[in-house]
Structure 1
Amino acid sequence: MRISFVKMHGLGNDFAILDGRDGDLPLLGEAQIRALADRNRGIGFDQLIVLGPSETADFAMRIHNADGGEVEACGNATRAVGVLHGAEASIETTGGMVQVRPGTSMAEAAMGAGRFEWQDIPLAYAMDTREMPLGWDMLERPSAVNVGNPHIVFFVDDLRAVPLETLGPEIETDPLFPQRINVNVAQILSRDSIRLRVWERGAGLTLACGTGACATATVAYRQGLVDSVVQVTLPGGTLTIRHDDEGGIHMAGPASETYRGSFELDDFG
């Protein structure tokens, strides 16, 4: 079976998007997704995005990381799908309903409100998530939030001094996080500016993570460190995160198409 795809990216966080909104796509297994994600022998991507029909929204979006595992939310992919769709839309995800409003090469996504209860992250046991009495080497006293998927956020004085490539996988797989966790290390530059690096669950170090930017800005806003609108700069570029009066998180930034292609499913297991 030959399957068409669209390759897109948001700030370098890249996706292969399969459009199954007419319901004719087969279900891909984890081994097939890992093979497709291979940057030397496959398409190469951080996430595989599968669009499908929905009874409650304009369409549904399922998200698989490069390791084949399914995750609940992806902010950069939401913007990319919005640009691809070309019109305002409601999107059903396993992490909840999101709204996207695209422009020509930009999009704003309404990601809902952050959840801070320990069982919503989830954690393995009860704990105050505002300032957790934990540490991994130089990273200490983080906060946790679920913005459709789970995140832990550390604020540091010098982002460059953190060996996230080694601490990221250690924290991601800590038994405290039964569903693993996305690891964000951030430096507050001003009331409206944050620098951020992210170790993404199931994908590793990434040029950009939209939900990581949302999570970090939300935690910083909750703690009074930033204003309601903040620029979050990642290695791949900058996103604007805005908090509304009801606690909703809105993320705006670029997304663009790279190329289109197709593959023979049997070639990937």
Structure 2
Amino acid sequence: MHGIGNDFVMMRADQCPADTDWSALAQQTCSRRFGVGADGLIFADRTPTGGFAMRMWNPDGSESEMCGNGVRCFALYLRDQGLTDATEIPVETGAGTLVLRLTEDGQVAVAMGRARLTRGEIGMTGPADQECVDEPVTAKGETFRGTAVSMGNPHLVMPVADVQAIALEQLGPAFEHHEWFPARVNAHWVQVVSRDHIIQRTWERGAGITLACGTGACAAAVSTFRLGLTDRKVRVSLPGGDLVIEYTEDGQVTMTGPAATVYTGEWELGE
């Protein structure tokens, strides 16, 4: 499945052995040369109360707290698997419980929750109660102005004049492992087109260059608004397509975008 080009292998926990090594399985299935090929492995599980829970692993085997494009795919997956016919679906994630809504025009709207703004909430070094807004950040000999936001996972957003001029393959790994972020960070470079439109390129923690990052788009929208560059509702253009992000006055974030099934198949565990 994919959400604007950010692609995932989806599995059901009830169809896998209880002792499955999900980290190793993610590395196997996500390999684009030796596996299925994906930006992450997502599996659907049940909560003790009968609800739904989503967990995700990156291609390097690390577990991610949340994935915006992945959670939209998750909503469609639950419906396609016949696990629910609801149009509003609460889902437990590593970033908290999110409410997913399948719209009549085939989009998935996600109430992403509150944007976290302090260093302590983001998982940064420095005073826990302080924010990181428009601060100079340097790696690989390059300095940008960075704003940090957590959407349940950490993001560093850096506005630039020309996002296509960024050497993502060289700069991405350096900023992912920046000393400010002990658990690493998702690094984003954004170009402001207008008050309601930005262009974004991303280096994802544990995955590298991806065609889209949903939580990153949320972080970018929040950051550019806080910098006075955009309005509260903005279209975020990523290499794989567009998302619409709204940042409300009470600090809540909503993301709307598509999800699609590419194909279905079987994977023999242990192979």
Q: TM-score, normalised by structure 2?
A: 0.91
Q: How does 1:67-216 map to 2 (within 5 A)?
A: 67-86=60-79, 87-103=87-103, 105-126=106-127, 128-136=131-139, 137-216=141-220
Q: Which residue of 1 aligns with 2:83?
A: none
| 1:70-119 residue CA offsets vs partner (Å, 9 max, x unmatched) | 01010001111112223310111111111100136320111001111111
Q: 1:240 and 2:241 equivalent? A: no
In structure 2, do the counterparts of structure 1 residues 56 and 201 end up closer, same or farther at CA, with 3 Å as the change threshold?
A: farther
In structure 2, do the counterparts of structure 1 residues 50 and 90 end up closer, same or farther at CA, with 3 Å as the change threshold?
A: same
Tell whether the 8 Å contact from 1:52 to 1:59 is kept in structure 2 after alignment.
yes
Question: How far off is 1:214 after superposition?
Answer: 0.4
Q: Which residue of 2 aligns with 1:223?
A: 227
In structure 2, do the counterparts of structure 1 residues 57 and 194 end up closer, same or farther at CA, with 3 Å as the change threshold?
A: farther
Q: Distance in 2 between matches of 1:37 and 1:203?
A: 10
Question: How far off is 1:260 after superposition?
Answer: 0.7
Of residues 96-105 and 19-28 in structure 1, the stretch that sits farther from structure 2 once superposed is 19-28
Q: Letter of the 1:191 partner, please give it.
A: R
Structure with a larger share of its residues in strand? 1
Pick 1 or 2: higher relative contact order, CA cutoff 8 A, min separation 6. Answer: 1
Tell whether the 8 Å contact from 2:145 to 2:158 is kept in structure 1 after alignment.
yes
Q: Which residue of 2 aligns with 1:63?
A: 56
Q: Distance in 2 between matches of 1:165 and 1:225?
A: 27
In structure 2, do the counterparts of structure 1 residues 157 and 50 end up closer, same or farther at CA, with 3 Å as the change threshold?
A: same
Q: Distance in 2 between matches of 1:140 and 1:41?
A: 37
Is the partner of 2:261 in helix, strand or coil? Answer: strand
Q: Letter of the 1:79 partner, please give it.
A: R
Q: Distance in 1 between matches of 2:242 and 2:36?
A: 26
Question: How far off is 1:244 after superposition?
Answer: 2.5
Tell whether the 8 Å contact from 1:57 to 1:90 is kept in structure 2 after alignment.
no
What residue ranges of structure 1 are gaps of 5+ in the alignment? Answer: 1-7
Q: 1:253 and 2:246 equivalent? A: no
RMSD between aligned alpha carbons?
1.8
State how many pairs are aligned.
260
Percent identity between matched residues is: 40
Q: Which residue of 2 aligns with 1:35?
A: 28
What residue ranges of structure 2 are gaps of 5+ in the alignment? Answer: 80-86
